[in-house]
Amino acid sequence: MSIEYIISQLINGLRLGSVYAMVAIGYSIVYGILRLINFAHGDILTVGAYTALTLMVAFGYPLWLVIILSIIISVAMGLLIERVAYRPLRNAREETTLVSSLAVSAFLQNLITMVFSEQRKAFQLPDWLTEIHTYGIVKLSTMNIIIFATTIFLLIFLSIIMKKTRIGMAMRACSDNQRAAALMGININVVVAVAFMIGSALAGLAGIMLAGEYKTVDPAMGFAPGLKAFVAAVLGGIGSLGGAVLGGFILGIAEMAFAGLLPTSITPYRDAMVFVLLILVLLVKPNGILGSDEGGRS
């Protein structure tokens, strides 16, 4: 095995990991506040990708406008889902909201199938983005660099928001102790809406990036990455931003390592290996790598 091969798998892993990380942040923030595992979160990624496709192909909008509008549509969809499927169940048991999120996921996949058909469609980003550059033995595309840099930027940006701003403090207060947060005069509905906005914006953006990487879109494209991102959030320590990003990178790199290092007869089972990894980590660190050790919620 050559060093070039290892490096290229590492880059693939970081690229995939960045997408997982972006989606995992949304899972993590929403879970932290509502204790809701939002299985429809991965499908927001699909919404973002299809919106981008439509705006590019049917309307011929420039890329920057496509990205902004796709994020706006994803955010609107996230807010709508929260309002319709989760807010009425705010005081219901966790299993109830979990089932509701699975229903929303199925609904979104079917809606997209109805509107766009179940056929895979080509998704072509401008050439300057997908062009491969060679730096010595390292080969990467402009897209690779943008994805990775965006993830790191978002991690830092969101960490500052959480630490320094009024709404960030309110979000942390809600995930620490929601009842007490309400007594401080914090409007829980606003905090929840902001959490869904951030999560959906990131998922929509991740959808465009994933579609750009694979050069196709299909109605179920968000489901598997959504599930992996959830695993990443749990692996890193759910509720922690840094944990979500770290979990995303570990998962992406592990997946690519399994794909690259294992004999071809086993590679179809690489997803199973990823889940084995999750189980092993949770056996040692039940709250995830960066999760607090304080046990459950107060």
Partner 1 sequence: MLKMQNVSFSYGAINAVRDVSLSIEDGEMVSLIGANGAGKTTVLGIISGLLRPSAGDITFGGESIVKTPPSTIVKKGIVHVPEGRQIFAKMTIWENLRLGGYKVTNRKLFQERVEYAFDLFPILKERKNQSAGTLSGGEQQMLAIARALISGPKLLLLDEPSLGLSPLITRQVFGVISGLKKAGITMLLVEQNAYEALQISDRAYVLETGSIAMTGKSSDFINNEDIKKAYLGGV
Which tokens go with 239? 């509720």
User: Token digits for 184?
Assistant: 């401080």
How many CB atoms are located within 10 Å of the residue 297 CB? 11
Nearer to partner 1, 60 or 185 (CB): 185
Nearest alpha-carbon partner for 141 in 129, 149, 150, 156:
129
- H or E segment at 53? helix 41-57
Candidate residues 25, 170, 211, 221; the one interacting with partner 1 per rule CB under 8 A: 170
Given a contact cutoff of 8 angstroms between Cβ atoms, the answer to whether 198 and 29 are in contact is: yes
Tokens 């990624």 belong to: 45
In angstroms, give the least distance from the CB of 174 to partner 1. Answer: 10
Q: Which is nearer to partner 1, 110 or 187 (CB)?
A: 187
How many binding residues for partner 1 (CB under 8 A)?
19
Residue 167 touches partner 1, criterion: CB under 8 A = no
Which residue of 3, 64, 93, 179 would you call a contact of partner 1, by CB under 8 A?
Answer: 179
> Which one among 180, 224, 261, 280 touches partner 1, defined by CB under 8 A?
180
Q: Which residues does 184 contact at the CB level (< 8 Å), separation at least 6?
A: 173
- C-alpha 113/C-alpha 120 separation (Å) is 10
Rounded to 5 degrees, φ, ψ at 238 are: -65, 140
Cα-based angle 57, 58, 61 (whole degrees, multiple of 5)? 70
- Which of these segments, 44-52, 94-102, 179-187, 245-253, binds partner 1 (CB under 8 A)? 179-187
Residues 6+ positions from 180 with CB-CB distance below 8 Å: 173
At its nearest, how many Å lie between partner 1 and the CB of residue 163?
A: 9
Taking CB under 8 A as the criterion, the residue among 2, 60, 134, 185 binding partner 1 is: 185
Among 186, 195, 205, 278, binds partner 1 (CB under 8 A): 186
CB of 85 to partner 1, least distance (A): 22
Which residue's CB is nearer to partner 1, number 96 or number 110?
Answer: 96
Q: 124: helix, coil or strand?
A: coil
Nearer to partner 1 by C-beta: 2 or 91?
91
Q: Which of 2, 166, 265, 279 binds partner 1 (CB under 8 A)?
A: 166
Stretch in the footprint of partner 1 (CB under 8 A) among 47-55, 178-186, 218-226, 230-238: 178-186
Q: Which of 76, 111, 161, 169 binds partner 1 (CB under 8 A)?
A: 169
DSSP-assigned states of every residue in 166-188: HHHHHHHHHHH-HHHHHHTT--H
- Residue 169 CB, shortest distance to partner 1, in Å, is 6
CB 9 within 8 A of CB 257: yes
Q: How far is the CB of 284 from partner 1 (least distance, A)?
A: 22
One-letter-per-residue 3-state SS of 9-21: HHHHHHHHHHHHH
Between residue 55 and residue 114, which ones bind partner 1 under the rule CB under 8 A? none
The residues binding partner 1 (CB under 8 A) are 166, 169-170, 172-173, 176-177, 179-187, 292, 294, 298
